[in-house]
Structure 1
């Protein structure tokens, strides 16, 4: 629960003052020996802790997943393997897995989503990273418009969806090769653009370094760049921007 949710629950009477005090006094993290779970992160930041699944031992992943599930009733994991999905599914049959984005999650079904962001990929090969960004934003309560395969080798494809892109509170541009899509977006929209370089490309792309350098050196304004293949980071940042925009709109300012 966030701090606001705790206070509202006390106000409505669904949580007693004593229970609220217990929650607020609870240890800010849970010591598991191999992990220190940041159980107060959602109260501090509005975002619960997420599991980076890659390279985790089976036992560690299962125990962390179970503890976070007990804490909040939902869990979000990135970079999970098929093996890890099958492992978690034995204990949590409701878990969902997307082999494209490699997202592993248990998500509340009645979740409210606000605002809108646009997640755009230059090519079909960039979709795994784009989907990581899109599903991260959706998990954290953002409406997402997916616009894929609109790279600079065929600009007319992008222009056909421009009105939708321009109406979003934030745009995520996911591109490999030379990474030019982000610069194009920066010159077409009035909202922040989050550029995500991917490791898609031939030899001289240097596993995404070429796209990263292009995006960092863009002459277009309003572009922020995350790390290579970091769809999660882009989706998180886009959600923060979207929450600000949606909050402003709700106040009529």
Structure 2
């Protein structure tokens, strides 16, 4: 195997962007993951790790690693003191099959010190479910919506609430909906305005986008 550099971690990313670098474990060897973690420990830094499956988490065996098998995420250095819900952002999903993506987003917020509420199983196959929480969802400035199958939840939400809707197509479905393809097309084709879309299953990216939106808005208010 070629002799590549082990890694070049971007420790200055938080200074530049407000969001520190995350370790995406998919595609890395166990030794590479351990080396990155040990490097962070030497610096006394916290780390957020994504796409770390349970089998590999057991192999890594790093003490003090807070691991969540549902989201395949790990937090090194402890969960920060969580700020209470201030009606800035909420997570919404169509069905319980979408919870792995939701949990990836929720854990991303937790790593950054935010506790956000989750409204689960409010898909439009039973429209009464989303209507029963529509008034409460209208309180939030940003909604992260996760849905697979035909992805109809994105348009429905954007037509009900004043806040921005970040659509996350979920890799849930079969036939033409397999792997989130139909949900992605639906998200990009929404007739209701105010929907922005991240890639299939990208709960982490949706959470970061929401934080950047809210941080930018807060900075603008301070000018």
User: C-alpha deviations, 1:155-195, integer Å up to 9, x for none?
Assistant: 21112222331112210010000001111111111111100
Q: Is the 8 A contact 2:170 2:201 kept in 1?
A: yes
- For residues 201 and 154 of structure 1, what CA distance do their matches in structure 2 show? 17
Q: Which of the numbers 106, 117, 130 marks the counterpart of 2:89?
A: 117
**SS of equivalent residue, structure 1 residue 144:** coil
Of 205, 211, 214, which residue of structure 2 is paired with 1:242?
A: 214
SS at match of 1:36: coil
Scaled by the length of structure 2, what TM-score is found? Answer: 0.89
Aligned counterpart in structure 2 of residue 140 of structure 1, from 102, 112, 135: 112
| Aligned residue among 135, 155, 159 for 1:187 | 159
The reply on whether 1:233 has 2:209 as its aligned counterpart is no
Q: Find the aligned partners of 2:156 and 2:42 in 1 and give their Cα distance.
A: 44
**1:90-132 superposed Cα distances (whole Å, 9 cap, x missing partner):** xx32111111111111244443536431100101101101111
Runs ≥4 residues deviating over 6 A: none
C-alpha displacement of 1:42 = 1.1
Choose the corresponding residue for 2:66, options 81, 91, 96.
96
SS at match of 2:115: strand
Counterpart of 1:118 in 2: which secondary structure? strand
Which of 220, 226, 232 does residue 192 from structure 2 map onto? 220
Gaps of 5+ in 1: 1-31
Structure number with bigger Rg: 1
Task: Give 1:88 deviation, angstroms.
Answer: 3.3
**Aligned-partner Cα distance in 2 for 1:147–1:136:** 17
User: TM-score w.r.t. structure 1 length?
Assistant: 0.79
Q: Which structure: greater helix fraction? A: 1
Please name the residue that 1:105 is paired with: 75
Q: Secondary structure at the match of 2:81?
A: coil
Distance of aligned partners of 1:110 and 1:34 in 2 relative to their CA distance in 1, 3 Å threshold: closer
Aligned length: 218
The 1:246/1:142 distance shift into structure 2, 3 A limit, reads farther
Q: Any stretches of 5+ residues in structure 2 without a counterpart?
A: none
